Amino acid sequence: MSKTIFITGSSTGLGRATALLFANKGWKVIATLRNPDKEKELGKVPNVTLLPLDVTKPEQIDAAVRDALALGPVDVVFNNAGYGLAGPFEGLTDEQLVAQIDTNLLGVLRVTKAFIPSFRERGSGTFIATTSIGGLATFPFFSVYHASKWALEGWSESLAFELGQVGVRVKTVAPGGIKTDFAGRSLVMAQHPAYAKLMERILAVFGDPARAETYSTPEQIAEVVYEAATDDKDQVTYLAGEDAKAMYAQRLAAGVEAFRKQIGQMFFG
């Protein structure tokens, strides 16, 4: 009997690649996105069902979860919807701050909470959330993005203890750089004139073509999601991408404070 995965943020990048990978492996895929009517290709893939979902709208979450479970049991929930917010903290509007936390953190919590009763009653199921190397290390001018991703890592680790007692697994996939439109459509930039020159340095580092060459494709990260969904390991965090693995190893080897200074040196000299 084929298994079913429910995916948020399926329109592009990692979410889309994951939907296609699982469908190709014979899974039933419930791919959610804010505007399914605009999706011309994913809905034509065998085993894929599209549902509308904006994770910042609790009423849509309830409807999507209800519709998904009406199709049959869901085995894996992949909380992938999210975006980046960069720029000086002083330059952020309150709307930008709230939107980042609402999407990257509260959306994951609400979707998870809506599925827990079904998983608990069956005594099985896996929750996977896309976090980031930015949930295990930090860079300048991404403070609120880091807040959302570090919160997800901590929440997931704690919840794994809790739900593990009823047969449910909680995991995270923490990618490094992904060759997607994250720096375009998926990245919101805040501005403040007092930090303009510093921001130029940040953008120069991230825009370095040599750095971009180390990034993974969405398809490569999707393979890690599949591993997390199927390996039966008692493991919470899955680093994804050679750049993420190298950076986290560097942090562990150097120690927290020494690593922080190394990051500062990389960006500011």
pLDDT of residue 208: 81
Number of domains in the chain: 1
Computed from CA positions of residues 108, 135, 205, 143, in that sequence, does the dihedral angle turn out positive or negative?
positive
Predicted confidence (pLDDT) per residue in 182-205, tens digit: 454 578 989 899 999 999 888 888
Give the DSSP per-residue string, 165-206: TTT-EEEEEEE--BSSSTTTTTEEE---GGGHHHHHHHHHHH
| Helix or strand run (H / E) with residue 33 | strand 28-33
Return averaged pLDDT per consecutive 10 residues of the chain, 269 residues in all. 95 94 98 90 93 98 98 98 95 97 98 99 98 96 97 98 98 92 68 92 84 89 98 96 95 96 91
pLDDT for position 109: 99
Residue 90 near residue 192 (C-beta atoms within 8 A): yes
Catalytic annotation, residues: 145
Residue the block writes with tokens 């047969």: 167
- Say what the pLDDT of residue 185 is: 53
* Cβ atoms of residues 121 and 71 within 8 Å: no
Question: How much is the pLDDT for 181?
Answer: 54
* Contact of 28 with 2, CB cutoff 8 Å: yes
- Give the CATH number, domain containing residue 236: 3.40.50.720
pLDDT digits (tens, 9 = 90+) for 71-103: 999 999 999 999 999 999 999 999 999 999 999
Q: What is the pLDDT of residues 168-185, one digit of tens each?
A: 999 999 999 998 654 545
3-state secondary structure 102-138: HHHHHHHHHHHHHHHHHHHHHCCCEEEEECCHHHCCC
The domain in which residue 205 lies consists of 4-268
Q: Three-class SS of residue 58? A: helix
CB 28 within 8 A of CB 4: yes
